[in-house]
């Protein structure tokens, strides 16, 4: 089994959630079945296909752990495309066309105005060739053979080729559109499965005839439902939401991949710690036909849940050098992103700015400092301290706990205070209480 994922230059130059999802599904399908995962970079557009784009794609995939078994650049395969193009031309399966874009647009409007499908109308073989005009090239569909295949997600697909336009495969300047080179690559590389979005279903129909014209069996296709934003369409904001954005935000790659692997399926969206575990549960039978709704907030929630499951050994190399397993276990339940750990680690072992309190709260914290100084410091210190202060001050609930948390951590909320107080130690806690009482 060999699957391929294709990346063409995007306006942002980076991978966004839509093409990451497709790459992920190709990768998981190959991993589950012991197959080969090929990355094909469509870099035939010389203006947009830069070395920076090439590197960015590979960097993003590496960050996510989607390492290809083979890398193919279409710009290095022009000789192969040319050879196969000439073979199809000799067989009459590609032919020259001379209409301008304006002429084609006008003809489509005429056909639509007559209630007819806007299908390209082939010219007679003896039609005159316009002087001084370079041709574009189309693939000649066989109108006598229905196009039928079983899609791994959509079930049986059936197209009448008479209702499809002969697709353009090469422009007037000799540059390639992706349809034919992709088929030539798939034949040459032995691709057995193609996973892509449902917006390519009609392209797949035309490509099936291209495979057959080249004497090859088409691969199996799986066309997944499109990814849409929560508001109903993939917005411009989400169009740039991807690996680069998530890395900058400190999101774990497996959080995003856990979401993208499951949305649009019957499986629950939940944090999964490894690609192998995602691959084990990957099944096209669980994919639905309805659009898959993507919500960045769901990635954030899954990211927090994923962090709460990770062991110290999973993150030790990304924590401050002197952070201990005890620090991790104490702070882990309160983390939304791994970068939050550094902030709380400083609260535990560094210094905080004295809290700004009301006059009454400062008096209360002064009494708290006096009471804390008399205590032995252990796991029960927080309970003992708050119990004594409740009795002496009459405070309870938020009035009791909030000023103490502010004075000791400088934060309105956070991990359980019992563990924080024990770990920060008596000397540090007393300094903070005294500083808050004097401010």
pLDDT tens, 315-336? 999 999 999 999 999 999 999 9
**Average pLDDT of the chain to the nearest whole number:** 90
One domain for residues 338 and 281: no
One domain for residues 331 and 408: no
From 293, 309, 325, give the residue that closes a domain.
Answer: 309
Does 164 reside within a domain?
no
User: Could you tell me which of 214, 210, 130, 116 has the C-alpha nearest to residue 167?
Assistant: 210
Residue 41: predicted pLDDT: 85
Q: What is the dihedral of CA 330, 332, 334, 336, to 10 degrees?
A: 160
What pLDDT, in 10s, does the model give residues 330-366?
999 999 999 999 999 999 999 899 888 999 999 999 9
Does 402 reside within a domain?
yes
Residue 186: predicted pLDDT: 95
Q: Both tokens of residue 316?
A: 């030790």
Of residues 404 and 101, more confidence is placed in 404
Does 383 reside within a domain?
yes
One domain for residues 286 and 339: no
**What's the start-to-end Cα distance of the chain, in Å?**
69
Does 169 reside within a domain?
no
Return binding residues.
236
Residue 53 banded pLDDT, cuts 50, 70, 90: confident
One domain for residues 266 and 316: no
Does 431 reside within a domain?
yes
Q: Which domain holds residue 375?
A: 351-438
CB-side neighbour CA atoms (13 Å) of 213? 24
User: Could you tell me which of 40, 310, 357 has the C-alpha nearest to residue 182?
Assistant: 40
d(CA 305, CA 254): 11
> How confident is the model over 166-189, as a mean pLDDT?
94
From 309, 330, 360, give the residue that closes a domain.
Answer: 309
d(CA 254, CA 64): 7
DSSP 298: H
C-alpha distances in Å from residue 54, one per residue of 17, 43, 66: 18, 8, 15
Residue 273: what are its φ and ψ, rounded to 5°? -80, -15
One domain for residues 11 and 62: yes
Which residues pair with residue 3 across a beta bridge?
A: 37, 193
Which residues pair with residue 196 across a beta bridge?
A: 223
Contact 36, 65 (CB under 8 A): no
Residue 102: predicted pLDDT: 85
Strands 193-197 and 220-224: parallel
From 348, 368, 400, give the residue that closes a domain.
Answer: 348
C-alpha distances in Å from residue 184, one per residue of 2, 96, 169, 190: 15, 20, 12, 10
- Total domains present in the chain: 3
Residue 236: predicted pLDDT: 43
One domain for residues 28 and 57: yes
Return binding residues for ATP.
236
User: Could you tell me which of 269, 197, 257 has the C-alpha nearest to residue 60?
Assistant: 257
What pLDDT, in 10s, does the model give residues 78-121?
999 999 999 999 999 999 999 888 888 888 888 788 887 888 88
One domain for residues 276 and 320: no
One domain for residues 359 and 424: yes
> How confident is the model over 220-240, as a mean pLDDT?
70
Does 341 reside within a domain?
yes
One domain for residues 230 and 304: yes
Does 302 reside within a domain?
yes
Residue 253 is part of a domain; what is its CATH number?
Answer: 3.40.50.620
- Percent of the chain topping pLDDT 70: 94
pLDDT above 70: residue 390: yes
Instruction: Calculate the CA 344 to chain-centre distance.
Output: 29
Residue 432 is part of a domain; what is its CATH number?
Answer: 1.10.10.350
Residue 11: predicted pLDDT: 52
Does 316 reside within a domain?
yes
One domain for residues 60 and 25: yes
One domain for residues 303 and 321: no
């Amino acid at each position: 089994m060999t699957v391929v994922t294709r990346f063409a230059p995007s306006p942002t130059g980076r991978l966004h959630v839509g093409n990451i999802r497709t790459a992920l599904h190709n990768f998981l399908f190959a991993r589950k079945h012991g197959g080969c995962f090929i990355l094909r970079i469509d870099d035939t557009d010389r203006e947009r296909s830069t070395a920076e784009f090439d590197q960015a794609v590979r960097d993003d995939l590496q960050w996510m752990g989607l390492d290809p078994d083979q890398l193919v650049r279409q710009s290095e395969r022009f000789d192969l495309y040319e050879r196969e193009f000439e073979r199809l031309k000799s067989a009459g399966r590609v032919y020259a066309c001379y209409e301008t874009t304006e002429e084609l647009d006008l003809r489509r409007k005429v056909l639509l105005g007559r209630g007819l499908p806007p299908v390209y109308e082939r010219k007679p073989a003896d039609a005159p060739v316009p002087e001084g005009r370079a041709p574009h090239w189309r693939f000649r569909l066989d109108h006598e053979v229905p196009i039928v295949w079983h899609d791994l997600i959509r079930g049986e697909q059936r197209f009448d080729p008479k209702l499809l336009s002969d697709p353009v495969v090469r422009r007037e300047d000799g540059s390639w559109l992706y349809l034919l080179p992709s088929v030539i690559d798939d034949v040459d590389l032995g691709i057995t499965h193609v996973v892509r979005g449902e917006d390519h279903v009609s392209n797949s129909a035309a490509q099936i005839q291209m495979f057959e014209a080249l004497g090859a069996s088409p691969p199996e296709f799986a066309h997944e439902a499109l990814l849409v934003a929560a508001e109903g369409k993939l917005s411009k904001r989400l169009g740039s939401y991807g690996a680069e954005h998530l890395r900058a935000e400190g999101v774990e790659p497996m959080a995003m991949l856990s979401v993208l692997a499951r949305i649009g399926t019957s499986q629950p969206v939940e944090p999964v710690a490894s690609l192998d575990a995602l691959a084990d549960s990957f099944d096209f039978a669980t994919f639905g036909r309805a659009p898959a709704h993507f919500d960045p907030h769901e990635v954030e929630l899954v990211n927090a849940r994923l962090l709460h499951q990770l062991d110290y050994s999973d993150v030790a190399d990304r924590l401050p050098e002197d952070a201990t397993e005890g620090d991790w276990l104490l702070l882990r339940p309160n983390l939304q992103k791994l970068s939050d750990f550094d902030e709380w680690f400083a609260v535990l072992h560094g210094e905080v700015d004295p809290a700004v309190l009301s006059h009454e709260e400062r008096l209360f914290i002064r009494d708290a400092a006096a009471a804390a100084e008399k205590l032995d410091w252990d796991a029960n210190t927080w309970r003992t301290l708050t119990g004594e202060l409740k009795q002496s001050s009459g405070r309870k609930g938020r009035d009791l706990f909030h000023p103490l948390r502010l004075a000791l951590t400088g934060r309105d909320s956070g991990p359980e205070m019992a563990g924080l107080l024990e770990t920060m130690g008596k000397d540090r806690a007393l300094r903070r209480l005294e500083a808050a009482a004097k401010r």
